[in-house]
Amino acid sequence: MSFHERALELASGGLQLEAMLHEGDGALAALVLHPHPQYGGDMDNHVVLAACHALADDGATTLRFNFRGAGRSQGAYDGGRGEAEDARAAVAALRALKPDAPVLLAGYSFGAMVAAGIAADAAPAGLVLVSPPLGMGALPPNPGVPLMVITGDRDPVCRAEAALALASDAVRVVVVPGADHGWWPGVDALQAELLAFERALPL
């Protein structure tokens, strides 16, 4: 399926956030959260785009947006608190647009920590954490939904051994050979693992 997006404005705590929406014809909707805005992260990050492209090719509706203070979104960086509010607002907007669609919640690096932090409230159908910065803090408790953690074996921010320690019957952990925190290379393997996870969800 071709990837066609349209601009969308999201309201979050009185702020307007810029977003891009692809409307697919499949059952699933997906929200993908970008890496740390203070280190150049935004919704145009290549990992975010790769995830959206892969899911859209599989028929999903996809939504990506800029956290407050990133790109043309209003406001300023808020240490993860306001960004969690932004992510909750985006989940609500996606559910309003696709009320019958189960939601896959995904995030990369900083976005992975935000996704993990809101998952208990957002109750997604599945949760994907790409290179969560485990060296900077523990993940919140598993919200009880299918969860995949994926990192590279050369990632110093989400070390393979720390990720593998999270593995359980409820948590799939994937370590991609040759990939570091920037996912150059490795993004093709990331897309393949994301699709395999998505297709296995009990929708």
The string of pLDDT tens digits covering residues 58-85 is 999 999 999 999 999 999 999 999 999 9
CA pair distance 35, 159, nearest whole angstrom: 17
Whole-angstrom Cα Rg for the chain: 15
Domain 5-200 carries which CATH code? 3.40.50.1820
Going from N- to C-terminal start, the domains of the chain cover: 5-200
CA atoms within 13 A on the CB side of 120: 7
Quote the pTM value: 0.98
Report residue 93: phi and psi, to 5°: -65, -40
Q: Please name which of 40, 142, 155, 45 lies closest in space to residue 127, comparing C-alpha atoms.
A: 142
Residue 184: CB atoms within 10 Å: 12
Q: Which tokens in the block code for residue 168?
A: 């359980």
The dihedral over CA atoms of 53, 124, 112, 9, expressed in degrees to the nearest 10, equals 60
CA pair distance 123, 184, nearest whole angstrom: 31
Q: Element (H or E) spanning 122, and its range?
A: helix 110-122
Mean pLDDT of 14-36: 98
pLDDT of 97: 97
Q: Where is average pLDDT lowest: 22-26, 63-67, 141-145?
A: 141-145
Report residue 160: phi and psi, to 5°: -55, -45
Residue 1 pLDDT class (50, 70, 90 cuts):
low
Region of 68 (left: φ > 0; alpha: ψ -120 to 50; beta: rest) is beta
